[in-house]
């Protein structure tokens, strides 16, 4: 871990914005994570760094993004600490963009957006998310260059007024029209923002148990591929300006 810090900090100016390390609180977290004892405490109960290996959350999160996940926001479960050693069952609160343990293999971490809470009825109809039989707001927002070709960028507005961008790669894709998913008690329904290229609750992920939530995506601090992340640093679920 100490080697990782030594490599990142000297070359951080190569990536935009150049002053990501000017945010004092996040620098403190970053430095403490490089020390053994504080790292165990912070990673277990406060913040943990994660990297994004796939494009399932484009455009919100992109390949090469590194972010901090807040672990205390929703309470703690046995997956909040390394190796699942904390014997606590259940979680409190809900979330927006969250890291969770893949239900079929808890050794694997996923990061997606919670779209359905316990008791909700979720369905995709012609590419539009429906929550409890009501379509969420969806409007065109231009184009987004994805894998060297333009894709349709859309602004999705969930109940409560929080909006974010989603990506539509193709019309009438396999996930654009689904059955009704009734979210069971103690579970969540998750979607990738890259709607045509995400393995989420519509497919292999299924419903995510309450206890599988690891934490909320809190803040981006680096992109290893040099992608600008200045407008996406704070991951509060709102549209980047």
Q: Are 21 and 9 in contact (CB under 8 A)?
A: yes
How far is the C-alpha of 154 from the C-alpha of 4, rounded, in Å?
Answer: 36
User: What are the strands of the beta sheet with 163-168, ordered from one edge?
Assistant: 137-146, 149-157, 163-168
Determine the pLDDT at residue 159: 87
Q: Is the pTM of this model over 0.85?
A: no
Total number of residues shown for the chain: 241
pLDDT in tens, the chain (241 residues): 433 443 344 434 444 444 444 455 555 666 555 555 554 444 444 678 889 989 999 999 999 999 988 876 665 555 555 544 444 444 433 338 999 999 999 999 999 999 999 999 999 999 999 999 999 999 999 999 999 899 999 999 988 888 899 999 999 999 999 999 999 999 999 999 999 999 999 999 999 998 898 888 888 888 988 888 777 766 655 544 4
Determine the 3-state secondary structure of 211 from DSSP.
Answer: helix
How far is the C-alpha of 238 from the C-alpha of 241, rounded, in Å?
Answer: 9
Determine the pLDDT at residue 166: 94
What's the topology of domain 2-118+188-225?
A: Umud Fragment, subunit A (2.10.109)
Determine the pLDDT at residue 87: 42
Q: Are 206 and 103 in contact (CB under 8 A)?
A: yes
Determine the pLDDT at residue 29: 61
C-alpha distances in angstroms, 178 versus 88, 93, 104, 199? Answer: 34, 27, 21, 14
Domain boundaries, the chain: 2-118+188-225
- As given in the structure block, the two tokens for residue 115 are 């779209």
Determine the 3-state secondary structure of 39 from DSSP.
Answer: helix
pLDDT tens-place string over residues 2-13: 334 433 444 344
How far is the C-alpha of 25 from the C-alpha of 29, rounded, in Å?
Answer: 6
Determine the 3-state secondary structure of 131 from DSSP.
Answer: strand
pLDDT tens-place string over residues 87-145: 444 443 333 899 999 999 999 999 999 999 999 999 999 999 999 999 999 999 999 99
Determine the pLDDT at residue 30: 61
């Amino acid at each position: 871990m100490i080697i990782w810090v030594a490599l990142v900090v000297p070359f951080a100016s190569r990536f935009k914005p150049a002053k990501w390390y000017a945010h004092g609180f996040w620098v403190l977290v970053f430095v403490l994570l490089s020390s053994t004892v504080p790292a165990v405490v912070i990673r277990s109960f406060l913040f943990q760094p994660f990297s994004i290996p796939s494009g399932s959350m484009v455009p919100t999160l992109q390949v090469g993004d590194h972010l901090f996940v807040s672990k205390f926001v929703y309470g703690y479960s046995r997956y909040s600490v390394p190796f699942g050693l904390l014997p606590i069952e259940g979680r409190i609160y809900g979330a927006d963009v969250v890291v969770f343990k893949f239900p079929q293999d808890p050794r694997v971490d996923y990061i997606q957006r919670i779209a359905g809470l316990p008791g909700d009825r979720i369905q995709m109809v012609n590419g539009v998310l429906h929550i409890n039989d009501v379509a969420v707001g969806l409007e065109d927002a231009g184009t987004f260059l994805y894998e060297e070709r333009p894709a349709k960028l859309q602004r999705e507005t969930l109940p409560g007024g929080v909006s974010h961008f989603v990506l539509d790669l193709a019309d009438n894709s396999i996930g654009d029209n689904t059955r009704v998913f009734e979210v069971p008690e103690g579970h969540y329904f998750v979607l990738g923002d890259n709607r045509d290229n995400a393995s989420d609750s519509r497919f292999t992920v299924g419903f995510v148990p309450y206890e599988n939530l690891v934490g909320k995506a809190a803040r981006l601090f680096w992109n290893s591929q040099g992608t600008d992340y200045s407008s996406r640093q704070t991951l509060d679920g709102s549209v980047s300006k």
